[in-house]
Chains A and B, each alone.
Chain A
Amino acid sequence: MVLKVMSSNQAIAEAVKLAKPKVIPVYPITPQTTISEYLAKYVADGDINAEYIRVESEHSAISACLGASGTGVRVFTATSSQGLALMHEIIFAAAGLRAPIVMADANRALSAPLSIWNDQQDSISERDSGWMQIYAENGQEALDSVLMSYKVSENKEVLLPTMVCVDGFILTHTVDPVDVPDEEEVDKFLPDYNPEHAYLDPKRPMSIGTFTDPDYYMEARHDMEVAMEKAKAVISDVSQEFADTFGRKYDFIEKYRSEDADTILIAMGSICSTIKDVVDELREQGEKVGLVRVRVFRPFPVEEIYDAIKGASNVGVIDKNFSFSIGGVLHNNIKSMMDVNAAGFIVGLGGRDIKPSHIKEIVEKTNNPSDKPQWIGLNKEEQ
């Protein structure tokens, strides 16, 4: 194995090269832009045999993806923040039409005020679209997740699109060592896409994207929920097969020193690397602290999270997003699905630094919880 040093954006582009999509419509947006640049170069150099469509907006990017997917080919796109928001209409349509699109989202704050920096509000705001969502912690996981996502999305039991989310700048523009898998092994793991469902073929005419009256809409939406539930078993199988092939195992959640922990923090994405350092430090001081990192956010792994946290006395959930009057969405999801007292914390909006001292403050406040979600790292305390 040869490790190469690269950003998560490059790692994602490498994964796309290996997944061999036939159509790649991408519109550049900070901090996703280098993904579109790497892919444009790979296509121009002949490293990927794909149609690279230089669309005029993100709405067109995802529309072209959906149209191409509807002809039965593998597709890829990537975006961020305002671009994802502009895609919103077609994001729902893609899931409803059961198009197995894989998209990377470089997590970035939404306007206003205008910010190019990281939080997870953009993808969290698309949580009810019917897309599966993966939150990667590093470049290796981003690469591996793209490969696994195609296999899960294209499974005929699932047929839902996947969003692979990486924290903007923190992951997209920093480098770490990444093992780029061997092409032949990836070809075996992820063969060519063979569509069996709705796609346009003159030999087998059908209409997709049609109008439905009230007699059919609810069934179509319910089918998506059934598929989202079925995706859990498929994700497990695919990650086991991935582990058998490439030696890296990814579960719905990652448990870090949480088995015997009194206090467990729950979070998603790159912040978990910081939390792991703080957990190690506090463990050395005798505090029984652990981390549960939620990797797969949709389908939401209720049983896995509950099993991991039910033994803890105190649970703190950290969100880089906010739902007004409610609090963090991960926190809210956990509280709504499990009988557990969990404190909620809002951090890192619009790229606000999250330092180990903030994590220690969260551990302290988790052990002495208050009812309301707390904003950590505000310059002016407003509580």
Chain B
Amino acid sequence: MVAIGAAVKEPGSTRKNKTGSWRTFKPILDKETCIECENCVMFCPEGCIDKNYDIDYDYCKGCGICAEECPVKAIKMERE
């Protein structure tokens, strides 16, 4: 149910908006090749890569910045 004036009455509601559904290309990270430099972690504009190099596909929009910034090309963008 929408609150009066579409007000958001509790914090954190943005989490309900699973922006991962916007994605066309999905980043696949190969942990064997990965040198754990944290470039992708810091460059990801959505904070979707954690320090274990696991990607949160619920919110990853598939922008490809992680793949672009990876110095050892450990991330491949695959069409969904």
Q: How far is the CA of A159 from the CA of B3 in the complex (A)?
A: 12
A98 at the interface (CB under 8 A from B): yes
One of A200-208, A238-246, A249-257, A331-339 contacting the partner: A200-208
Residues of chain B with a CB closer than 8 A to A98's CB: 4-5
Query: Are A220's CB and B2's CB within 8 A?
Result: yes
Q: How far is the CA of A210 from the CA of B10 in the complex (A)?
A: 12
In the complex, what's the smallest C-beta–C-beta distance from A76 to chain B, in angstroms?
20
Q: How far is the CA of A98 from the CA of B8 in the complex (A)?
A: 13
Query: Are A206's CB and B5's CB within 8 A?
Result: no
Residues of chain A with a CB closer than 8 A to B6's CB: 96-97, 210, 212, 216-217, 220
In the complex, what's the smallest C-beta–C-beta distance from B20 to chain A, in angstroms?
14
Query: Are A197's CB and B2's CB within 8 A?
Result: no
Secondary structure dominating the interface of A:
loop
Query: Are A159's CB and B5's CB within 8 A?
Result: yes
Query: Are B7's CB and A198's CB within 8 A?
Result: yes
A287 at the interface (CB under 8 A from B): no
Query: Are A198's CB and B4's CB within 8 A?
Result: yes
- Smallest Cβ-Cβ distance to A208: which chain B residue: B7
A183 at the interface (CB under 8 A from B): no
Query: Are A198's CB and B17's CB within 8 A?
Result: no
Which residues of B (1-59) have their CB < 8 Å from a CB of A?
1-11, 13, 17
Query: Are A206's CB and B4's CB within 8 A?
Result: no
Q: How far is the CA of A99 from the CA of B6 in the complex (A)?
A: 12
Query: Are B5's CB and A216's CB within 8 A?
Result: no
A219 with B2, Cβ < 8 A, contacts A205-B11, A206-B10 known:
yes
Residues of chain A with a CB closer than 8 A to B13's CB: 207
Question: Quick one: which of B1, B4, B8 contacts A210, CB cutoff 8 A?
Answer: B8
Query: Are B5's CB and A207's CB within 8 A?
Result: no
A184 at the interface (CB under 8 A from B): no
In the complex, what's the smallest C-beta–C-beta distance from A220 to chain B, in angstroms?
4
In the complex, what's the smallest C-beta–C-beta distance from B61 to chain A, in angstroms?
14
Number of interface residues of B (CB under 8 A): 13
In the complex, what's the smallest C-beta–C-beta distance from B10 to chain A, in angstroms?
7
A213 at the interface (CB under 8 A from B): yes
A51 at the interface (CB under 8 A from B): no
Query: Are B9's CB and A96's CB within 8 A?
Result: no
Which residues of A (178-237) have their CB < 8 Å from a CB of B?
197-198, 205-208, 210, 212-213, 216-217, 219-220, 223
Most buried by A among B1, B2, B7: B7
Query: Are B8's CB and A206's CB within 8 A?
Result: yes
Residues of chain A with a CB closer than 8 A to B8's CB: 206-208, 210
- Smallest Cβ-Cβ distance to A159: which chain B residue: B4
Q: How far is the CA of A266 from the CA of B8 in the complex (A)?
A: 43
Which residues of A (128-179) have their CB < 8 Å from a CB of B?
159
In the complex, what's the smallest C-beta–C-beta distance from B21 to chain A, in angstroms?
10
Residues of chain B with a CB closer than 8 A to A99's CB: 5
In the complex, what's the smallest C-beta–C-beta distance from B1 to chain A, in angstroms?
8
Residues of chain A with a CB closer than 8 A to B3's CB: 198
Question: Quick one: which of A205, A213, A217, A220 contacts B5, CB cutoff 8 A?
Answer: A220
Query: Are A207's CB and B7's CB within 8 A?
Result: yes
Residues of chain B with a CB closer than 8 A to A216's CB: 2, 6
In the complex, what's the smallest C-beta–C-beta distance from B67 to chain A, in angstroms?
27
Residues of chain B with a CB closer than 8 A to A210's CB: 6-8
Residues of chain B with a CB closer than 8 A to A159's CB: 4-5
In the complex, what's the smallest C-beta–C-beta distance from B19 to chain A, in angstroms?
10
Q: How far is the CA of A207 from the CA of B10 in the complex (A)?
A: 8
In the complex, what's the smallest C-beta–C-beta distance from B27 to chain A, in angstroms?
24
The 3 lowest CB-CB distance pairs between A and B, nearest first, are A198-B7, A98-B5, A207-B8
Given contacts A208-B7, A208-B8, 12 further A-B contacts (CB under 8 A): A98-B4, A198-B4, A198-B5, A198-B7, A205-B11, A206-B8, A206-B10, A216-B2, A216-B6, A219-B1, A219-B2, A220-B6
Residues on A lying within 8 angstroms of B by beta carbon are 96-99, 159, 197-198, 205-208, 210, 212-213, 216-217, 219-220, 223
Q: List 14 A-B contacts (CB under 8 A).
A: A98-B4, A99-B5, A159-B5, A198-B4, A198-B7, A205-B11, A206-B7, A207-B8, A208-B5, A210-B6, A210-B8, A212-B6, A220-B5, A220-B6
